[in-house]
Amino acid sequence: MPVCSGVRPGGTRDRQAFTRGPAALAQYAEREQRTVIPGRHTERITLDGQEHDVQLAQLTELGTDWAQDG
């Protein structure tokens, strides 16, 4: 019996989506010199030549504690 039933392996698109959040946070932190981010902030990043809008508040759902409501 599999330990993680219902979990399917992710493809390239899933891996790219997973890297967007940390990339957006790093970009924001470098520009603003802080990691406390308003909860509704959207950061635009370029990843592999494509622009993506990342809603940093969604990362709080993954257990990050650096975003605040705002």
Query: Does residue 16 belong to any structural domain of this protein?
Result: yes
- Residue showing tokens 């599999």: 2
Query: Does residue 25 belong to any structural domain of this protein?
Result: yes
Q: What range defines the domain where residue 32 resides?
A: 12-68
Query: Does residue 5 belong to any structural domain of this protein?
Result: no
Query: Does residue 7 belong to any structural domain of this protein?
Result: no
Residue 55, both tokens: 């809603």
Residue 28, both tokens: 């924001």
Number of domains forming the structure of the chain = 1
Per-position pLDDT tens, the chain of length 70 = 444 444 455 567 667 777 888 899 899 999 999 878 777 889 999 988 999 999 887 776 666 555 554 4
Predicted pLDDT of residue 42: 92
pTM over 0.75: no
Query: Does residue 41 belong to any structural domain of this protein?
Result: yes
